[in-house]
Amino acid sequence: MNIHARRVLLENGWARDVRLTCADGRIDRVESGVDAGGSDSRVDTLLPALANLHSHAFQRAMAGMTEFRAAGRESFWTWRDLMYRFLDRLGPEQLEAIAALVFMEMQEAGYASVGEFHYVHHQPGGQPYDALSELSDCIVVAAGRTGIGLTHLPVLYTYGGVDQEPLSGGQLRFANDVDRFLALVDACRSGIRALPADARVGIAPHSLRATAPADLARLLAAVPEGPVHIHIAEQTREVADVEAKLGQRPVAWLLDNVDVDARWCLIHATHMTDAETIAMAESGAVAGLCPVTEANLGDGIFNGVSFIEHGGAFGVGSDSNVRISLCEELRTLEYSQRLRDRARNVLVAGEGSTGRFLYTGAAQGGARALGRDAGAIAIGKLADLVAIDSTHASLCALRDDQLLDGLCFAAADNVVTDTWSAGRHMVVSGRHIHRDAIIARYRAAVSDLLQAI
């Protein structure tokens, strides 16, 4: 498979008239200053495609259902109540159809891969399916249908709070102790063999609310290789609960009690002291930032300036999937910092293009978080690639790094023309190649589900 691009962002900078040769999902050869061959896919501007490092696919079907105000009930926790009611009705077929839509939308927005943080495992009421990995298998099938690069992250969710309260109601579908969870991880590893070799399985202790310290230690000893993802410090109430129970704020506790390193992705990490921020940046863990969802839920603003100053790795995820847009994710990340600090061009180390720093930083951090050998265009890397149209009206006055500034701040996702996931060419001329079938199936699968909420 060959691609010819007028302009490419290579690992060491911009190049013109570049021909990439790919084999077995990886970049095999890079030639600059050459003409296109007859069978090449021809594109305008080629970039490393980002990983979407944090998604709960099923929540996409709830988008727009929680944007009303009820007196005295406005909070993250009422949003979560609706999510639990929704879950009472979600079955395998619906999950697969929703996940396929979500993965397709991600690819059309320019993401090549996804970290699916998957915590719904059992039937309503908590009875396991005949196959423990029934719902994980649906995620795998959806990834296969869309061609996205999947890092599947089954979630260990055991308790209803830091005091190890038993789960109840909607949460019963999430419940596993460590033994059953490890059996689930094994089943997922078998199931994922149905996908191409770039797919993989990691683990996700849900949070310090839902996973006890002793269980976390057992889990990490049993699955040491990662990737390991955990929700952390998203809500101030969560910070207070963890501090009351464990004697430290969540990020501080995790860094002091667990061997956190580059295998880890800390999702949100919204509420950190300066000391926590610096220690996390130095740990090598990736900050899994979900700016659109964090804004939608009113979580707060990440301590980005200090984190970047200390060399922290970061990537972005669409989390609740209320909106799937790579441009908006990066834009919201920077704008939240600007609004807080009343400053411009905040998230850039030293001097230079904010768009370039945000885009390449998120490409590298996202790939690391998913355990994916990608994040840059270079020989040997996975061919996770996205092409944008620099002749589009929103970009046509811009050159090189400015194109990334335009992508982050001026354009919409409709500048994306093509996306490859490990060499699989799934988006062509701005449309996923299975778009119509995926949308038809989604509409059919969720119409009952949505009417009943």
Residues lying near Zn ion in the complex (CB under 5 A) are found at 319
Instruction: Report the catalytic residues.
Output: 268, 319
Long-range (24+ apart) CB contacts under 8 A made by 164-168 are: 164/212, 167/126
Both structure tokens of 452? 């009943």
**Cis peptide before 227, with omega less than 30 degrees from 0?**
yes
Distance CA 338, CA 361 (A): 18
Q: Which residues sit opposite 45 in a β-bridge?
A: 7, 388
Closest contact distance (angstroms) between CB of 293 and Zn ion is 7
Cβ contacts of 98 within 8 Å, gap of 6 or more: 57, 58, 60, 61, 442, 445, 446
Q: Which residues sit opposite 153 in a β-bridge?
A: 117
- 72 φψ region: left (φ > 0), alpha (ψ -120 to 50), beta (else): left
In the complex with Zn ion, the residue whose CB is nearer, 32 or 78, is 78
* Other residues' Cβ atoms within 10 Å of the Cβ of residue 242: 23
In the complex with Zn ion, the residue whose CB is nearer, 156 or 411, is 156
In the complex with Zn ion, the residue whose CB is nearer, 134 or 319, is 319
In the complex with Zn ion, the residue whose CB is nearer, 293 or 360, is 293
**How many Cα atoms are found within 13 Å in the side-chain-facing hemisphere of 152?**
32
In the complex with Zn ion, the residue whose CB is nearer, 31 or 241, is 241
Cβ contacts of 353 within 8 Å, gap of 6 or more: 401, 402, 404, 405
In the complex with Zn ion, the residue whose CB is nearer, 58 or 357, is 58
Distance CA 266, CA 231 (A): 6
Closest contact distance (angstroms) between CB of 290 and Zn ion is 7
DSSP-derived letter for residue 157 is B
Closest contact distance (angstroms) between CB of 39 and Zn ion is 42
Distance CA 318, CA 115 (A): 10
Closest contact distance (angstroms) between CB of 216 and Zn ion is 17
Helices then strands, each counted (H, E), the chain: 14, 17
Angle at the Cα of 242 from the Cα atoms of 237 and 243, rounded to 5 degrees: 95
Instruction: State the residue number with the nearest CB to Zn ion.
Output: 319
Distance CA 453, CA 4 (A): 48
Query: Contact at 8 Å (CB) between 148 and 113?
Result: yes
Closest contact distance (angstroms) between CB of 231 and Zn ion is 5
Amino acid identity, position 91: G
The alpha carbon of 88 is separated from its chain's Cα centroid by a whole number of angstroms, namely 25
Closest contact distance (angstroms) between CB of 52 and Zn ion is 12
In the complex with Zn ion, the residue whose CB is nearer, 107 or 207, is 207
Closest contact distance (angstroms) between CB of 399 and Zn ion is 37
